[in-house]
Amino acid sequence: MGFKVAIVGATGAVGVEFMNVLERRNFPVSDLVLLASKRSAGTTLTFKGKPYVVQELTKDSFIGCQLALFSASGAISKEYREACVKAGCLMVDNSSAFRMEDGVPLVVPEINPQEAKKALQANGGKGVIANPNCTTIIALMALAPLHREAKIKRLVAATYQAASGAGHAAMEELKDSTRAWLDGKPYAPKVLPHPYAFNLFPHNSAMGPEGYCEEEVKLLKESRKILADNSLRITGTCVRVPVLRTHAEALNVEFHKPLSVERAYEILNKAPGVTVLEDRAKNRWAMPIDVAGKDNVYVGRIRKDQSQDNTLELWVVGDQLLKGAALNAVQCAEVALL
């Protein structure tokens, strides 16, 4: 059995990873339709050694498809949702368009796989699965197993987010601006609002009235939905750092019940999709260069917060393009369809 699969945004950073993940996980693809804007149409990409020409996205693009993986803007996802599901196609969407919509499952397969099936129970077997924000996925991969043990009361997060979160163009801007800086040449940012080479700045998503940017609000709202717990208290500061791919997060987690450092390690060593990596004697913990290109989320430096009871500190690192985006979306499709 195979599926005709459409990839929307095929030429982007996540779109390319969609193809890589489908191939190495041996997802049963009988045919592949690569879709992008009119500007990118005509580009040739390779899947399993076979060339595929990128087509312009239209409302008819999903006819005959059973699965569509979207990595485009929220506006594009909203515009083409009806055409996708009317064609009988399961839509797994990487944008923020539907994440908080009632009835649309927001899924991390290691945490709430049962939700993925709900997309197939609506509209006669058609539907939408929302892929969570990369920051939320990476945090919850480490936090959800601990939440099941001791229940999280409050989370304070500081995130260090790579260029990949802003797409391929931002990754290229980081490379180009770094070369210019090293050569002593001026460089005017085109993709991001501030100089990126050898610099960092609070996340550039839209700022809300309470002083939190969209990225920080997503961490709160999406975590509550995925964990099905609206009592969670979460605050965060998201920062864009000059790293090509792979986000890092420093998490301060207060639990309702006592949870020892030793027990936390025991739980996370057994958690699916999680790898503990550290060498305390050498002060060596997971770094982006360790985790780039890896499926698992890496965790370490777990320690007791000395300032209050029932609180642990964790260091978490995950590849934004993989578990934070493409890999999680393909896993959602696997749970729903296979």
Spatial distance between the Cα atoms of 36 and 57, rounded to a whole number of angstroms: 5
Three-state DSSP class for residue 239: strand
Residues 6+ apart with CB under 8 A from 260: none
Question: Do 122 and 85 form a contact (C-beta atoms < 8 A)?
Answer: no
Strands 233-240, 201-202: pairing is: antiparallel
Q: Looking at residue 163, what DSSP letter applies?
A: G
Spatial distance between the Cα atoms of 209 and 238, rounded to a whole number of angstroms: 16
Residue 257, both tokens = 């019940």
CB neighbourhood size of 92 (10 A): 27
Spatial distance between the Cα atoms of 72 and 40, rounded to a whole number of angstroms: 13
For the annotated catalytic residues, the residue numbers are: 134, 247
Q: How many residues does the chain have?
A: 338
Helices (H) and strands (E) in the chain, counts: 9, 17
